[in-house]
């Protein structure tokens, strides 16, 4: 497996384009991604009970495990828009599929942005008309696609890898409203491997649990969270044996984890990425609970922003995580610097602690000394700028 310098169109048979359609004032805000061959497909969506219209539609469309195109606008979430919102999502799929020459059920629709405002369908119709003739497989098209799905993000987020003679590429967006229960984000992954929809679904759910469900910026869960993977088989590499499935699953894990970390690193107002690793927990569930609890703590996030080695906030988050623990066995490290041993704070260099907290990626390691299960979660610090951004963002 190796990372390649490319975007979403690195996958055989994938074309796309991103344009400025007018959903936002002056940024790219609309994209279509299209596969020359119909794909097996799988998706994982928000657990928010106020799920947006596109989420409800895509769940229905993916019931047969097939898809061929993605249409996405940025600027309006089409969430909490009632029957009009559902009709608009369906019209988008119908109109785009007609222009692309595919079944409407194979055209997945996504929206991200402000909640509660109906989609401007005159802009949507014109966006589809404009974009379809521009679809291509160039690097510039990949870059436009990755930028067109962003909202408050500061940077585009993409990755492409080669593995066992096939390619997997993915893009994602997300910066705020991020909580480890599917972050506030969209993620589109394509591969030219030949994978059945059943295997694809199992691999995706497993990968999402190891990645997007383990990131946190602000503890909020969005109405539009979606991760989908489409496989068109154009590499002619079948993923149909135990070894090949395991290799594909690991490659998909890698793509999802890298994209999830990019989201956490670009959290609204963030200055640092935080990685929390829980080791030697009594169960896998406990390890995941602990790492998520620490990464989700506003007090831990604030301490990291202030470069304050306040280990008490970390151990408190472990304590209320619901995981089994024995206080007198816990060790806590900031990077390689031990700050807690047997549940008690130890003498350590404040200067060394500050150095660890000044790093671009701050690592917190918690050793429970109860078993052999481990888990990682990712988040970012909580800065003054986060409050400023969200105080001024119209929702």
Q: What percent of the chain has pLDDT over 70?
A: 94
pTM as predicted: 0.88
Give 49-77 pLDDT, tens digit per residue.
888 999 999 999 999 999 999 999 999 99
Residue carrying structure tokens 């066992």: 164
pLDDT of residue 180: 40
CATH code of the domain covering residue 278: 3.10.20.340
Q: Which of 56, 55, 52 is nearest to 80 (CA)?
A: 52
Half-sphere exposure of 102 (CA within 13 A, CB side): 23
**Residue 390 reports pLDDT greater than 90:** no
184 labelled ligand-binding? yes
How many independent structural domains does the chain possess? 2
pLDDT higher than 80, residue 178:
no
Q: Is 390 helix (H, G, I), strand (E, B) or coil?
A: helix
> Do 223 and 308 belong together in one domain?
no
9 labelled binding-site residue: no
pLDDT of amino acid 72? 98
Q: What is the CATH number of the domain that holds 57?
A: 3.60.70.12
Q: How far apart are CA 136 and CA 123, in angstroms?
A: 22
Full domain range(s) for residue 375: 273-392
Q: Is 223 annotated to bind ligand?
A: no
pLDDT band at 217 (very low <50, low <70, confident <90, very high): low
Residues 238-270 have pLDDT tens digits of: 999 999 999 999 999 999 999 999 988 877 678
Angle at CA 173, nearest 5°, toward 134 and 143? 35
Which residues form the catalytic set?
Answer: 184
The pLDDT of residue 216 is above 50: yes
- Rounded Cα distance, 229 and 302, in Å: 35
pLDDT for residue 177: 47
pLDDT band at 210 (very low <50, low <70, confident <90, very high): very high
Tokens of 355: 């150095």
Mark which of 217, 235, 265 sits at the end of a domain: 265
The answer to the question of whether 246 is labelled as a binding residue is no
Q: Is 173 annotated as a binding residue?
A: yes
- Tell me 10's DSSP state: G
Are residue 188 and residue 116 in the same domain, yes or no? yes
130-151 mean pLDDT: 96
Query: Is 143 known to sit in a ligand binding site?
Result: no
Mean pLDDT, the chain, integer: 93
């Amino acid at each position: 497996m190796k990372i390649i310098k490319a975007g979403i169109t690195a996958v055989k048979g994938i074309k796309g384009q991103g344009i400025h359609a007018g959903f936002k004032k002056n940024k790219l805000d609309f994209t279509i991604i299209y596969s020359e061959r119909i794909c097996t497909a799988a998706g994982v969506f928000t657990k928010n009970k106020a799920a947006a219209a596109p989420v409800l539609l895509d769940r229905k469309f993916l019931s047969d495990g097939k898809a061929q195109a993605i249409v996405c606008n940025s600027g309006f979430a089409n969430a909490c828009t009632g029957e009009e919102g559902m009709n608009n999502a369906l019209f988008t799929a119908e109109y785009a599929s007609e222009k692309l020459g595919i079944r409407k059920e194979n055209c997945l629709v996504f929206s991200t942005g402000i909640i509660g405002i109906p989609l401007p369908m005159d802009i949507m119709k014109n966006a589809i008309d404009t974009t379809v003739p521009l679809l291509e497989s160039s690097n510039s098209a990949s870059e436009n696609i990755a930028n067109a799905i962003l909202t408050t993000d500061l940077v585009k987020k993409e990755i492409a890898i080669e593995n066992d003679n096939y390619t997997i590429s993915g893009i994602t967006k997300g910066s705020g409203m991020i909580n480890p229960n599917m972050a506030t984000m969209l993620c589109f992954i394509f591969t030219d491997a030949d994978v059945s929809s059943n295997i694809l679904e199992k691999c995706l759910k497993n990968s999402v649990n190891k990645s997007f469900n383990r990131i946190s910026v602000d503890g909020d869960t969005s109405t539009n969270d979606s991760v989908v993977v489409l496989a068109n088989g154009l590499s002619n590499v079948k993923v149909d044996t135990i070894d090949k499935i395991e290799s594909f699953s690991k490659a998909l894990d890698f793509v999802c984890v890298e994209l999830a970390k990019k989201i956490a690193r670009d959290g609204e107002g963030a200055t640092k990425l935080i990685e929390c690793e829980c080791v030697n927990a009594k169960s896998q569930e406990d390890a995941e609970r602990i790492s998520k609890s620490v990464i989700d703590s506003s007090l831990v996030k604030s301490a990291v922003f202030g470069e304050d080695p306040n280990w008490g906030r970390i151990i408190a988050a472990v304590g209320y995580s619901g995981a089994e623990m024995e206080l007198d066995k816990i060790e806590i490290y900031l990077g390689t610097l031990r700050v807690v041993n047997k549940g008690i704070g130890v003498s350590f260099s404040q200067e060394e602690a500050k150095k660890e907290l000044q790093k671009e990626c701050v690592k917190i390691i918690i050793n429970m000394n109860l078993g052999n299960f481990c888990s990682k979660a990712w988040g970012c610090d909580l800065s003054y700028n986060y409050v400023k951004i969200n105080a001024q963002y119209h929702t």
